[in-house]
Every structure is written in structure tokens, then in C-alpha cells.
Amino acid sequence: MREKAKQAAKNAALYALAAVRWLPAAVLIGLLGGAVGAAFHHGIALASGFRAQHGWVIWLLPVGAVVIALLYRAMRLGPDAGTNLVLEAVRSEKQVPLLLAPAMFVATVLTQFVGGSAGREGAALQIGGSLAQGVAKLLRVKEENCHLLVLCGMAAVFSALFGTPVAAAVFVLEVASVGRFLYSALVPTLCASLTAGAVARALHGEVVRMALTVPGEAGVVFTLRTAVLAVACALLSIVFCLVVHQTGHLAGKLLKNEYVRALVLGAALLGLTLLSGTRDYNGAGMAFVERCVAGGQVDWYAFALKLVFTAVTLAAGYKGGEIVPTFFVGAAFGATVGPLLGLGAGYGAAIGMIGMFCGVVNCPFAALLLAVEIFGGAALVPFAVTTALCYVFSGYFGLYSSQHILRSKVGTELIDRAAR
């Protein structure tokens, strides 16, 4: 018994050492990611605010797309230097270019300045992965251990931008390989995420929080209505992924020159803006999401228009990400369909926002934690139902083609297929 106790104590010490060995690097990445994330937030806010006050800026949409293409060419960053590359770096020996962080920072701020319909989470993952790669080289970390620091960097900047540290840590562990959760990285990624969130708050970064009113009692009928909306959001997430991917493929096929493509699609985005008669669909659209959750008036076709704006924006080469536009599409859809199901516009918008996020990234646990951090725990059961159903009914589609889904969504067998 004494020998077993000694061995158990020795093993426990080894496990504890393994858990904390990366904490100094995780804290360093968290400090750096939090500062960069806060600066990124303020840069986007300034760019968006200037555009809102000066309507003429929208006419620079075609120019902005061309400038971004020139910037990436000058920094020798190819078209594959994006979120998919960062996800591949988590699973393989691929390296995230150090120049990706400044390029994505500038390109995303420029996208928001001219009014491209893109978000910021893709930028967060890329900037965080690039910064972490730089820290790994600075600390002379072995190549086979760089993956963990890349995860820390992704979580840190994501946390700094949204103020959701727990969801950020789980998201980066869940997104690259769905069905294989890297538990060994949970402590350092959570440490980096919490550190970055604290730094960002100290630097007056954004913390996304919304008040949510749950209508009525969460009984069987209420849950069934929520389930119907969740399934509808899952199907819409498939449409979102298909439209975004196919628009990009078609644009690349018809307009092979990246500068011509940027100019033509930038002009098309300007035309869409003028035809819509509003600026609601330009920029990321988080203010619109908050308006939907608050129960504000929403045009029934708003979700479809935002989808088109986002697809054209990404095909043109503007930078940022797809998640906040996904929030917009889901919130607008939920605010429209929710009242038809007797759920209320605000509650429907919240379900639509979380459901769409889960559907396009295939990360049910991260989506549930995101809902809890943003809306509180009052609607935990409805959100759990939503994320579970959206994960299953969204099939094997996803925003990131480098994402691998390792297990069947309707069984236990291994499938290891890339998201479509």
C-alpha cells in the first residue's frame, strides 16, 4: 500500500508539472494577445465610427479591396494565408507566417473603414496564431510543441475581442478537429484566454453582453418551439456555408486576376449598398445583432441580404471573418421566425445567433458556453437544445475547409472528413 501511495503521489506531481509547465508562456501570450486584441478593437471602432459619420467613405469600397490585395502581395502572403492555415498549423507542422498578424490587423481595419461586410473573429484567430508562433520562436520552443502555443494565441485574441474567455478557450480546442478534444491543452489555453480578457478589459476593450428575456415557462411546448427554430437555423447554416464557398469559387473562376476580382466585386458591393438604401449591412453588424436581441424592428429579408453582402465581401478579398456576420444572419432570421412560433423577436434572435454560430463552426460546447457568457444562464436549457440540434442537423458543412470532423454526427464510427 505504501509503495502504491508513493507511486500515486509521484504520478500526481508529474501530472501537475505537465499541467503548469506551459503556464508562463501562456501568460505571456495572454498579455500580448490582450493588448493586441484591445488595440484591434479600438482600431475597428475608430474605422467604423469614421465611416458612420462620413457617408462618402463607402465609395472607397473598390479601392479598399485592391489595397488589401496589394498589401498581401507586398507581404508575400498567398490566398491560403488565412484561418484554414492556422487550423492546419494546430494539427500539422505547418507554420503561421509572422507577417500575418500585422497584415490581418491592417486589412481588417481597412475592411471596416470602407464598409466590407466581414467580422473580426477570423482575424482574431489568425493574429493570435501568428503572434503565438513568434513567441514560440522567441522562446525556442520545439517544433512539435508549437501547436499548443498557437492554440493559446488563438484563444487569447478571441477572448480579448469578445470578452468571452471560457468560450474562447473551448472553441479553439474544439474547432480544428471536431470529435477530438485536446484536454491536455485546456489549462494553458484557459490561462491565456483569461489573461487576455483581463488585459483587454483594463485597456477598455469590448465585452459582449446582452440582456435576454425568456418568454413564458420553459415547458414542453416552449422547448419544442425552440427546437423547430433551432433546426431551421441549422438548415440556414448550410445555406450560409454553401453560398459563401460557392461565391468565392465562382469569383475565382470567372475573375482569375486578384486585382480585377477585388475591383469588380468591390464595385458590386458598393452597388448592393446603394440599392439597399441603408448602411446596416456594411461592417460587421454587431450593433444590429444587439438591436435584434432587444426586440427591435427587423426587415424579414435582412438575413438574406446580409448573407449576400458577406459572400461578396469575402469573395472580393476583404479581411476579417465570418462569425459576426453569422451572428447577424442568425439574429435577423430568429427575430423574423421567432414571433411566428410564438417565441418573441428578442428570444428568437438570441436562439438564431447561437444556433447559426454552432451550425457553421460545428462546435456545440463552445456555442453553449458563448451563450452563457453573453446572455447569462437563465436560458441554459433552451440554448443546450439549440446547440445540440444545430450540431446534428447542420451536417458536415462548415466555414473552414481545413476543419476535420472525426466522428459521425449520427453514430459512433470514425469518419475523419473535411468540412464542406
In a domain, 5, yes or no: no
Could you write out the DSSP letters of every residue in 82-100?
SHHHHHHHHHSS----TTH
Residues 329 and 269 grouped into a single domain: yes
Q: Residues 334-357: pLDDT tens digits?
A: 999 999 999 999 999 999 999 999
Residues 251 and 387 grouped into a single domain: yes
Residues 158, 164, 166, 168, Cα dihedral to 10°: -20
Residues 235 and 305 grouped into a single domain: yes
Residues 197 and 244 grouped into a single domain: no
Domain boundary among 175, 202, 229: 202
Domain boundary among 171, 202, 233: 202
Overall domain count for the chain: 2
Residues 194 and 234 grouped into a single domain: no
Find the mean pLDDT for residues 167-187: 88
Residues 308 and 368 grouped into a single domain: yes
In a domain, 214, yes or no: no
pTM for this predicted structure: 0.93
Q: Say if CB 238 and CB 329 are below 8 A apart.
A: no
User: Over 70: is that where the pLDDT of 270 sits?
Assistant: yes
Residues 172 and 270 grouped into a single domain: no
Residues 198 and 118 grouped into a single domain: yes
Residues 163 and 115 grouped into a single domain: yes
Find the mean pLDDT for residues 266-276: 97
Q: How many CA atoms lie within 13 A of 274 on its CB side?
A: 12
Q: Can you tell me whether residue 262 is helix, strand or coil?
A: helix
Residues 169 and 301 grouped into a single domain: no
Domain boundary among 202, 233, 251: 202
Residues 252 and 359 grouped into a single domain: yes
Q: Say if CB 368 and CB 387 are below 8 A apart.
A: yes
Q: Can you tell me whether residue 295 is helix, strand or coil?
A: coil
CB burial string 320-341: b at 16+ within 10 A, e below: bbbbbbbbbbbbbbbbbbbeeb
Give me the phi and psi of 225, to 5 degrees please: -65, -40
- pLDDT for the residue 263: 97
In a domain, 388, yes or no: yes
Domain span holding position 352: 220-418
User: Over 70: is that where the pLDDT of 164 sits?
Assistant: yes
In a domain, 392, yes or no: yes
- Ordered alpha helix ranges (H), 163-277: 165-175, 186-202, 220-254, 258-276
Find the mean pLDDT for residues 364-378: 94
Q: How many CA atoms lie within 13 A of 59 on its CB side?
A: 3
Q: How many CA atoms lie within 13 A of 342 on its CB side?
A: 9
DSSP letter (8 states) at residue 117? -
Q: Predicted confidence band at 4 (pLDDT cuts at 50, 70, 90)? A: low
Residues 232 and 150 grouped into a single domain: no
Find the mean pLDDT for residues 198-217: 88
Taking the alpha carbons of 284, 238, 66, 131 in that order, is the dihedral positive or negative? Answer: positive
Q: How many CA atoms lie within 13 A of 419 on its CB side?
A: 31
Q: Predicted confidence band at 78 (pLDDT cuts at 50, 70, 90)? A: confident
In a domain, 373, yes or no: yes
In a domain, 11, yes or no: no
Q: Residues 391-410: pLDDT tens digits?
A: 999 999 999 988 888 888 87
- CATH number where 250 lies: 1.10.3080.10
Could you write out the DSSP letters of every residue in 68-85?
HHHHHHHTT--TT-SHHH
